[in-house]
A and B are shown apart, each in its own frame.
Chain A
């Protein structure tokens, strides 16, 4: 007799940290168990690549000189693919000037090609494809790895693959040494196939990004590329009050514990954060419905979520499960939001907000 496992409803599972604090696990993998043995820190060997017979190319965009975790995952994919078979060199083409403190040796890049001409900051996909084709011709890499992003990577990957007539696999959520997998049929089906010539990966294709060796990268500026004609365009930022919650990066959220909404709005203004609220606050009419966070409201994927006076009902926590850093301010230490948050402040909401306001206004 086989037992059919059935979920009556999804449940957030919890665990207990080393300090004995009960924590609620998030969507991402979390490990946090007791007593870990100490690991000795060792110096990593240097991996040289002069005898490489083949190349792999990673194409990235630097945003304000920084790389995201996803960018690093793409490099790791290339590195992993390079480890299978004969020695290979991992090249990385970066659009935009990277921060000098980025440790390409730790990332596992053998050669870094930088295209820092600021005219490439504009919307010039055809010119980027040209530069890419040029480099591709020089290196003849076995595979080209992109990331999927809304900054132009997804667009570039597809243009390039089609322009060159190369096989393409995008929105990949799994890459193995011989196959790739992506979703199709609106998430109900999976499409798997052999490794394509051009890959575009989503986050989560790799495990731990720590390599057991370092490389010895050298940096070259890309030559022989025509500078693009920068088109007439204007960039603007939506005022943080107008940013839809699904896009917002820095969210400040009010719950039942916020007595004075004026203080809250002042703080939001000073922080230039996007305003949101729990269902209770919206139902009371203090905030419009579009600002409601939770299972029946919006799902927020912010880098920082500042929850003030929110107790953390299950539906609300569902709305913030993809948030990177959750900062909670609450006078009740035992509430679920404190268990969920990365940083918690046990204080009266009003007093804390006033303290923040005077600290922000006081700074020159």
Chain B
């Protein structure tokens, strides 16, 4: 009996080792990355602290997983301890059985969850997992009890069969590409994660895209082997939980993008097979089982379609939700770089925007000389090289837009009231290039970035102020890779500081009814700022109702990632869905903090809710 158990353990170990070998071979199709092996030592801390922080959002499954995974892994360790190393005593047997029972308890809750599973979970192999876990637990329980009582017979036979089923699932997951491969890929992924900065502290944000070498032999990712190996590893860590699918605005709108399916498509590409085996929800409008990688692992057009890629708004709701810390947006942008710069296939309206940006340095084809026109009567000087200003006011594309000029002007008037020394940039202010970068035209972005940075370096200022979170991200984060080191503030942050320090007095009362705040993706998820706008709303004594999807879980308005230009058709429109959520909290007013959210939400046909920028409320209260 003992030897049977040892034999099973040996099979498990061998199977696992084979699995490691196989998975490594799959991951290493990707390009080399400069990361030290010693990172593997970080896995325990990262698992127990950083990952736990994310997984603990869903208490039920977090506890279930502790029981199931802890029980199973613990049992293995104890089995080795008892039967291979020979530490046989009442204590070790007790711990062993305790762990096996714990594993069974976990398995039971997994089973319970699978009785009426949420739509986001995959069926197929994943539906079998609780049974395999039962098999493992019962099998080894039976075997070890039989061994301890030195009995044989049918119980032992049945237990053996069950144990084999269990071992196949758990130890064989990596080899057979079954769900429990995540035991291996998930932990290795924690070590070699593409964004190491996410582990600097718990909940750390790392959102800036990595620049591309303009002299590279190939731009972006067009086939599986173009990905870096740790990206392929990250796709392999996917447990098909579907939290990304649930969070994705494009999926909700019925556009042909499902982030979970996208990752699984890339896994299929990595494994060189079609998506036939996929047992979850597909990309809306695209039947499952019709896509496979092209020759040499080519992604387009047979495995992934351009419309899937360009439906994404880069809102990072998927990344925020993912318990395996997979970076969906990075993968999409890498692939967009290939489409935009190597292959062609960018949606035509988005192409037109890139052309306009290339020829005029503005998104809408405006005259740079008119950049400061919005402020011409507000006594805001144009920044001159050598003359120091406290705040450099970045106008952005809003300088040319009727509705958003209002936001700019109110901010300028409030700055004047608070006595802040500010200046605008004028015709040397080019577009930040954020739209170009998100659409995949990295060369255009780098061109604009370099020219902007060169000019900004001739000016003398403490901080840059912007009303646009996309500019906040570009100037504050993305430009760093090109040598920039600017302190950039969003207008809600600056206004919050002014209110707090008493420089701005919000004395007038507002009659506004219920107000709700729509967190911009690029302010909340990208830059972590969800509190300053709320402090402002607090200071205004408004009746604020929070939507279900707010703060770091805010739902996108649909503009980002060039999606407003790509305009990939779906059953609904993303801003209409957000407006429904706004109506659900009976808000008479929705405060936004981004000119693009303003544009998208104002474009929704409805008359129940007024869309205002948060500065309009502040200005009303300040008597401006």
A and B directly contacting (CB within 8 A): yes
Say if the beta carbon of A8 comes within 8 Å of chain B.
Answer: yes
The reply to whether A283 and B373 contact each other, CB–CB distance below 8 Å, is: no
* Minimum CB distance partner of B399 in chain A: A8
Which A residues are CB-close (under 8 A) to B376? 4, 6, 8
Instruction: Name B203-260 residues within 8 Å CB distance of A.
Output: none
Which A residues are CB-close (under 8 A) to B605? 256, 280, 283
Which B residues are CB-close (under 8 A) to A6? 370, 373, 376
Say if the beta carbon of A289 comes within 8 Å of chain B.
Answer: yes
* Minimum CB distance partner of A288 in chain B: B569
Which B residues are CB-close (under 8 A) to A283? 573, 603, 605
Say if the beta carbon of B493 comes within 8 Å of chain A.
Answer: no
Say if the beta carbon of B144 comes within 8 Å of chain A.
Answer: no
Instruction: Name A1-44 residues within 8 Å CB distance of B.
Output: 4, 6-9
- Count of chain A residues with a beta carbon within 8 Å of a chain B beta carbon: 9
When each residue 360-396 of chain B gets 1 if its CB lies under 8 Å from chain A and 0 otherwise, what string results?
0000000000100110100000000000000000000
Say if the beta carbon of B567 comes within 8 Å of chain A.
Answer: yes
Instruction: Report the bound CA distance from A7 to B605 in whole Å.
Output: 29
Measured CB to CB, the closest approach of chain A to B568, in angstroms, equals 12
Instruction: Report the bound CA distance from A4 to B573 in whole Å.
Output: 43
The reply to whether B567 and A9 contact each other, CB–CB distance below 8 Å, is: no
Which B residues are CB-close (under 8 A) to A8? 373-374, 376, 405
Which A residues are CB-close (under 8 A) to B402? 9
Instruction: Report the bound CA distance from A289 to B567 in whole Å.
Output: 10
* Minimum CB distance partner of A10 in chain B: B402
Measured CB to CB, the closest approach of chain B to A285, in angstroms, equals 8
Instruction: Report the bound CA distance from A198 to B603 in whole Å.
Output: 51
* Minimum CB distance partner of B604 in chain A: A283
Measured CB to CB, the closest approach of chain A to B226, in angstroms, equals 33
Which B residues are CB-close (under 8 A) to A289? 567
Which A residues are CB-close (under 8 A) to B374? 8
Instruction: Report the bound CA distance from A317 to B169 in whole Å.
Output: 66
Instruction: Name A169-214 residues within 8 Å CB distance of B.
Output: none
Instruction: Report the bound CA distance from A62 to B405 in whole Å.
Output: 50
- Count of chain B residues with a beta carbon within 8 Å of a chain A beta carbon: 10
Measured CB to CB, the closest approach of chain A to B195, in angstroms, equals 37
Measured CB to CB, the closest approach of chain B to A278, in angstroms, equals 10
Measured CB to CB, the closest approach of chain B to A356, in angstroms, equals 26
Instruction: Report the bound CA distance from A256 to B567 in whole Å.
Output: 21
Instruction: Name A87-104 residues within 8 Å CB distance of B.
Output: none
Number of A-B contacts (CB under 8 A): 17
Instruction: Report the bound CA distance from A7 to B405 in whole Å.
Output: 13
Instruction: Name A301-359 residues within 8 Å CB distance of B.
Output: none
* Minimum CB distance partner of A256 in chain B: B605
When each residue 592-605 of chain B gets 1 if its CB lies under 8 Å from chain A and 0 otherwise, what string results?
00000000000101
Which A residues are CB-close (under 8 A) to B405? 8-9
* Minimum CB distance partner of A296 in chain B: B603
Which B residues are CB-close (under 8 A) to A4? 376
Measured CB to CB, the closest approach of chain A to B603, in angstroms, equals 8
Measured CB to CB, the closest approach of chain B to A2, in angstroms, equals 13
* Minimum CB distance partner of B576 in chain A: A283
Instruction: Report the bound CA distance from A289 to B373 in whole Å.
Output: 32
Instruction: Report the bound CA distance from A256 to B405 in whole Å.
Output: 28
Measured CB to CB, the closest approach of chain B to A194, in angstroms, equals 32
Measured CB to CB, the closest approach of chain B to A64, in angstroms, equals 37
Instruction: Report the bound CA distance from A9 to B367 in whole Å.
Output: 13
* Minimum CB distance partner of A284 in chain B: B605
Measured CB to CB, the closest approach of chain B to A8, in angstroms, equals 6
Interface centre among B373, B405, B567 (most CB of A within 10 A): B373
* Minimum CB distance partner of A7 in chain B: B373
When each residue 570-583 of chain B gets 1 if its CB lies under 8 Å from chain A and 0 otherwise, what string results?
00010000000000
Instruction: Report the bound CA distance from A283 to B373 in whole Å.
Output: 32
Measured CB to CB, the closest approach of chain A to B427, in angstroms, equals 13
Interface centre among A6, A7, A289 (most CB of B within 10 A): A6
Which A residues are CB-close (under 8 A) to B373? 6-8
Instruction: Report the bound CA distance from A4 to B370 in whole Å.
Output: 13
Instruction: Name A250-268 residues within 8 Å CB distance of B.
Output: 256
Measured CB to CB, the closest approach of chain A to B277, in angstroms, equals 34
* Minimum CB distance partner of A285 in chain B: B569
Instruction: Report the bound CA distance from A280 to B603 in whole Å.
Output: 9
Which A residues are CB-close (under 8 A) to B370? 6
Instruction: Report the bound CA distance from A256 to B606 in whole Å.
Output: 12
Interface centre among A8, A9, A280 (most CB of B within 10 A): A8
Instruction: Name B529-582 residues within 8 Å CB distance of A.
Output: 567, 573
Instruction: Report the bound CA distance from A4 to B376 in whole Å.
Output: 9
Measured CB to CB, the closest approach of chain B to A275, in angstroms, equals 19
Instruction: Name A154-169 residues within 8 Å CB distance of B.
Output: none
Measured CB to CB, the closest approach of chain B to A168, in angstroms, equals 30
Instruction: Report the bound CA distance from A220 to B605 in whole Å.
Output: 63
Instruction: Report the bound CA distance from A280 to B405 in whole Å.
Output: 24
Instruction: Report the bound CA distance from A280 to B606 in whole Å.
Output: 11
Instruction: Report the bound CA distance from A283 to B576 in whole Å.
Output: 10
* Minimum CB distance partner of B374 in chain A: A8
Measured CB to CB, the closest approach of chain B to A173, in angstroms, equals 22
* Minimum CB distance partner of B409 in chain A: A8
Measured CB to CB, the closest approach of chain A to B293, in angstroms, equals 32
Measured CB to CB, the closest approach of chain B to A207, in angstroms, equals 31
Measured CB to CB, the closest approach of chain B to A266, in angstroms, equals 25
Measured CB to CB, the closest approach of chain A to B574, in angstroms, equals 12
* Minimum CB distance partner of B400 in chain A: A9
Which A residues are CB-close (under 8 A) to B567? 289
Measured CB to CB, the closest approach of chain B to A6, in angstroms, equals 5
Instruction: Report the bound CA distance from A7 to B376 in whole Å.
Output: 10
Which B residues are CB-close (under 8 A) to A256? 605
Measured CB to CB, the closest approach of chain A to B197, in angstroms, equals 40
Which A residues are CB-close (under 8 A) to B603? 283
Measured CB to CB, the closest approach of chain A to B425, in angstroms, equals 17
Instruction: Report the bound CA distance from A132 to B605 in whole Å.
Output: 58
* Minimum CB distance partner of A280 in chain B: B605
* Minimum CB distance partner of B405 in chain A: A8
Instruction: Report the bound CA distance from A9 to B398 in whole Å.
Output: 12
Which B residues are CB-close (under 8 A) to A7? 373
Measured CB to CB, the closest approach of chain A to B349, in angstroms, equals 9
Measured CB to CB, the closest approach of chain A to B604, in angstroms, equals 9
Instruction: Report the bound CA distance from A289 to B573 in whole Å.
Output: 14
Measured CB to CB, the closest approach of chain A to B255, in angstroms, equals 13
Measured CB to CB, the closest approach of chain A to B307, in angstroms, equals 15
Instruction: Report the bound CA distance from A77 to B538 in whole Å.
Output: 70
Which B residues are CB-close (under 8 A) to A9? 402, 405
Measured CB to CB, the closest approach of chain B to A133, in angstroms, equals 43
Measured CB to CB, the closest approach of chain B to A3, in angstroms, equals 10
Instruction: Report the bound CA distance from A193 to B374 in whole Å.
Output: 38
Measured CB to CB, the closest approach of chain A to B133, in angstroms, equals 47
Instruction: Report the bound CA distance from A359 to B490 in whole Å.
Output: 61
Instruction: Report the bound CA distance from A8 to B605 in whole Å.
Output: 27
Instruction: Report the bound CA distance from A130 to B402 in whole Å.
Output: 55
Instruction: Report the bound CA distance from A6 to B375 in whole Å.
Output: 11
Measured CB to CB, the closest approach of chain B to A124, in angstroms, equals 38
Instruction: Report the bound CA distance from A259 to B605 in whole Å.
Output: 15
* Minimum CB distance partner of B571 in chain A: A285
Measured CB to CB, the closest approach of chain A to B74, in angstroms, equals 55
Give me the 10 closest cross-chain CB pairs, A-B, nearest first. A6-B373, A6-B376, A9-B402, A280-B605, A8-B373, A8-B374, A283-B573, A8-B405, A256-B605, A4-B376
- Can you spell out 16 A-B residue pairs with CB atoms less than 8 angstroms apart? A4-B376, A6-B370, A6-B373, A6-B376, A8-B373, A8-B374, A8-B376, A8-B405, A9-B402, A9-B405, A256-B605, A280-B605, A283-B573, A283-B603, A283-B605, A289-B567
Given A8-B405, A280-B605, A283-B603, list of 14 further CB < 8 A pairs? A4-B376, A6-B370, A6-B373, A6-B376, A7-B373, A8-B373, A8-B374, A8-B376, A9-B402, A9-B405, A256-B605, A283-B573, A283-B605, A289-B567
